[in-house]
Structure 1
Amino acid sequence: MLICLTANHRNASFDLLEKLSVGTADVAKRLVAESDFVQGAVVLATCNRFEAYLDIDEPLTAGVSLAVEQAAEEFGGAAGTDVGELRDSLTVLCGDTVADHLFSVSSGLESVVVGEDEIAGQVKRALSTARIEGTTSSDLERLFQRAAHTSRGVKTKTGLGGAGRSLARLALDLAESRVTEWARTRVLLVGTGQYARVTLSNLRDRGVTDIRVYSPSGRAVAFAAKQELEPVAAEGYLEAVATADVVITCSTAETVVLDAGHLAAAAALPGALERRLVIDLGLPRNVDPSVSGLHGTELLDLETISLHAPLDELNAESDARALVDQAAAEYRAGKAEAAVTPAVVSLRAHLFDLLDAEIERSRGRAGAFGGSPTATLSGAEAAAQTERALRHLVGVILHSPSVRARELARDGRADEVFAAVETLFGLGSEAAQRSALQTALESSLAESSDAGPIDLDDYRRAGA
């Protein structure tokens, strides 16, 4: 069973999300290695959500409850936050609702800025990390791959794809009232990752040309050369802050890169500007919140941005929502159809076992397939034809029940299929899980699906 533990901008504070994004990187690996219930885990941490997708090897309520409790304690302990606070902020999703939620998340329909561009890449990277750490599972792989397919469909088939929506764009929209003329604005960009590239693109769309870049990790020179910007060395950081009208931070550093001390020192330098706008897009925070109390400094952080998101950004287009709903419904139908495969495989195995036994018994009877054990070549050919005909007959017999079983499963009636197979043939769950036969039998099912009716005259001529 798949479950999702989600804390996001709708049910958790940004302080809690910040803590979860910093200290929980190794928890998924530990859960899979040590838990009696968790078979797989993928963790998605973005600027406005923290989610753990878990594959639980226990369908019972008690097992799910224990897994949720263990996960909450592990994540809370790693993040250094109160476990009770974390429990209160977590929403737990189970079963089919997990797919509904992830498809919606990956398509940007649950973001602060509906339809944001970055989330699909973040979901993809979460799965890649789980693969590297060895924490994914086959069910999680299918779920996340289907989510990626859905988000691509939303991007290409709906109005969300061309909107270029992002937190960076929304932040700059909100900054419009503080900036007199973007073309004359001097900007210092702190960070060189994905958000920095998105922010840079949005700045250039507004006509900003005076942009310098600083990297706490020392990547400014390479980033600046590629983007045709002016890099800022570590020793020139305070001077760059002092002469910037707008400072935008979007670094992945786990410690603040701008605090009241930096701004006080920058303000004391010759030629320092009296007023500046600081936009913090980092999670964890890149800017100490105390800077908002300094004279001449205005801070616009993620929490403020989310509170001021315009209403039209918070409503997804109906066609995008419909596409996500359709994909989720198809995913559920596919899972239901796959659920009856063991029953179908078991039925096929049972009938072919009976056929093989009958063929072997017949071979041992003198004259059954063309005479004595020293049969002529024509007798051997007749025996081979008869065997092929019998196998073909079983395939034809099984074709309609196999198709019907899948149709019933897609209609939510999988239990009826299992009950029928067990009642009619006495095949329970043990027989349904004969893994050694499954690959061969599925191949046989594919071969027999197009089989036509047997010509009885040909069948009799074969020696029956």
Structure 2
Amino acid sequence: MLICLTASHKNADFTALEALATADAKAMPSSLASHPAVDGAVVISTCNRFEVYLDVDADEHRAPEIALSAAAAALGEHHPEAMAPLADGDAAEHLFAVAAGLESVVVGEGEIAGQVRRALASAQRAGTTSPQLERLFQRASETQRGIKNRTGLGEAGRSIVRLGLDLASARVDWSQARVLLVGTGRFAAVSLAELRRRGAERIEVWSPSGRERFARSHGIPAVDGRDAALAVAMADVVVTCTSADHHVVDAALIREGRARLAATHAHPGAEPAAAHAGCPIGLGAGGDAATCPLHHGGHEAACPVDHGRPAQVVVDMGLPRNVDPDVRDVHGIELLDLETIRLHAPLEHLTATDDARAIVQKAARRFERGTEERRVAPAITALRQHVEEALEAELARVAKRGTEEERKVAEQALRHFAGVLLHKPTVRARELAADGRHDDFLAAVDALFGIDDVA
């Protein structure tokens, strides 16, 4: 049976999803497939869901239990209290809906289709797929493409990145804003494209892991890790999207950067040192850093180092969180994380969504019929072989009698009769399979012909 175990923004809280995000998704399929009853495993891990798809060698009563046991063993401490199990047709319908973006925070978002394809590719490299899982994920991609071409869902939907930056747009003039992008992966590339689409030009990138290729390939300045705190303090907008399993930005880093910025007063738009009587960060005439409230401790509210901006916006796209929630305690910081972004997710585009759902349901029914037919295929093959052996025996007997012409006529008649004889059982087998009654056909073949090794 196909079993899907799913934890997403719809049935798990953010803490559970964050814990699952720290699991090693690349190693997970191999761990799952090591279970003796699991024939194949594929894992989808994104910022809002963690799903396990298993091909389990067990009946409908035992398969969900085996799947849950295999997942618990593979996930260990990361295993949440509950991962909802879905079987066969329900699992297929769910994956098809996921691939189409129907189960996303932002309905119709485009990134999930690529994530589903990459999940299958990762399992293929690990050697943990099965013919049934291959067929399931291929049909999911086909269904997603059909929905994209036949409905307006893709146009109506928006990605998490787009939504997060849209929320920041109400607070930021992108053409003037200084932006620090934290991260250099695929998500960072999407974020950079969206920032540029909004007119952002002053963009720097900081790679906590020290990767410099991203900056060179995208034509933007790279921030040295030693200057990360200062870069964070100088940015009007900080966008984080790394795969790190720890916080890369926290209150301490921001405060360190602000202290360094205040000490040098080297902020954008700084005036010559002789004209500091009205300095926004508290420096007196002559630029004496000693008069800055930051150097007297505990007076941060009077020295936000905001340089005239209403707030410094931090957009955290990471799961687990890239930004420690304690940054909310820092004066002048506004944090937009995934939890906040979810609360502002737009309503579904009803017409497009309904059309897409109908396509998903039809595709799932077609997939399930194909699955059931494959279950009776060995029995049909065995029945055909049984009839073929009887036919060959009869042809051998007929070959000893009559003329050559009579033998040809007899052979043609017998072969036609065998085909007619097999046609009805073959059609009936597929009908029973489509109704979920493949066991009835297997039992009948066993009872009538003694063929009992094809289940």
TM-score (norm. length: structure 2): 0.83
Structure 1: tracts of 5 or more residues without a match: 371-378, 434-464
| Residue equivalent to 1:219 | 211
Are the counterparts in 2 of residues 279 and 301 from structure 1 also a CA contact under 8 Å?
yes
Aligned-residue offset at 1:408: 4.1
Are the counterparts in 2 of residues 113 and 313 from structure 1 also a CA contact under 8 Å?
no
| Residue equivalent to 1:427 | 450
Counterpart mapping for 1:56-455 below 5 A = 56-62=56-62, 64-77=64-77, 79=78, 86-87=80-81, 89-163=82-156, 165-179=158-172, 181-220=173-212, 222-268=213-259, 269=261, 270-272=265-267, 273-274=305-306, 275-312=311-348, 317-363=353-399, 365=400, 368=401, 370=403, 379=404, 383=407, 386-387=410-411, 389-423=413-447, 425-430=448-453, 432=454
Aligned-residue offset at 1:297: 1.2
The one-character-per-residue Cα deviations of 1:177-207 (angstroms, maximum 9, x if unpaired) are: 322x221111111122222222222222222
Q: Distance in 2 between matches of 1:225 and 1:14?
A: 35
Question: Residue 150 and residue 312 in structure 1: after superposition, are their counterparts in 2 closer, same or farther (change >3 A)?
Answer: closer
Percent of residue pairs identical: 50
Are the counterparts in 1 of residues 153 and 349 from structure 2 also a CA contact under 8 Å?
no
Question: Residue 118 and residue 63 in structure 1: after superposition, are their counterparts in 2 closer, same or farther (change >3 A)?
Answer: closer
Q: Distance in 2 between matches of 1:20 and 1:316?
A: 31
Tell me the matched-pair count: 409
The one-character-per-residue Cα deviations of 1:150-184 (angstroms, maximum 9, x if unpaired) are: 111112221122346100111112223322x2211
Question: Residue 63 and residue 144 in structure 1: after superposition, are their counterparts in 2 closer, same or farther (change >3 A)?
Answer: closer
Aligned-residue offset at 1:325: 1.2
| Residue equivalent to 2:291 | none
Q: Distance in 2 between matches of 1:314 and 1:303?
A: 24
Q: Secondary structure at the match of 2:414?
A: helix
Q: Distance in 2 between matches of 1:340 and 1:143?
A: 18
More RCO (CA 8 Å, sep 6+):
2
Q: Distance in 1 between matches of 2:156 and 2:125?
A: 33
Choose 112-121 or 384-393, whichever is displaced more. 384-393
Aligned-residue offset at 1:412: 4.2
What is the one-letter code of the residue matched to 1:210? R
Aligned-residue offset at 1:72: 2.1
The one-character-per-residue Cα deviations of 1:217-273 (angstroms, maximum 9, x if unpaired) are: 3334x3234333223232332332222100000111223221222211111223345
Q: Distance in 1 between matches of 2:373 and 2:395?
A: 33
Aligned-residue offset at 1:112: 0.6
Q: Secondary structure at the match of 2:356?
A: helix
Question: Residue 369 and residue 252 in structure 1: after superposition, are their counterparts in 2 closer, same or farther (change >3 A)?
Answer: farther
Q: Secondary structure at the match of 1:278?
A: strand
Aligned-residue offset at 1:145: 1.1
Are the counterparts in 2 of residues 40 and 140 from structure 1 also a CA contact under 8 Å?
yes
Question: Residue 62 and residue 238 in structure 1: after superposition, are their counterparts in 2 closer, same or farther (change >3 A)?
Answer: same
Are the counterparts in 1 of residues 156 and 349 from structure 2 also a CA contact under 8 Å?
no
Choose 158-167 or 279-288, whichever is displaced more. 158-167
Q: Distance in 2 between matches of 1:139 and 1:210?
A: 49
Are the counterparts in 1 of residues 398 and 410 from structure 2 also a CA contact under 8 Å?
no
Question: Residue 9 and residue 149 in structure 1: after superposition, are their counterparts in 2 closer, same or farther (change >3 A)?
Answer: same
| Residue equivalent to 2:292 | none
Q: Distance in 1 between matches of 2:350 and 2:177?
A: 29
TM-score (norm. length: structure 1): 0.81
CA RMSD of aligned residues (A): 2.4
Choose 138-147 or 382-391, whichever is displaced more. 382-391
Structure 2: tracts of 5 or more residues without a match: 268-304
Question: Residue 244 and residue 123 in structure 1: after superposition, are their counterparts in 2 closer, same or farther (change >3 A)?
Answer: same
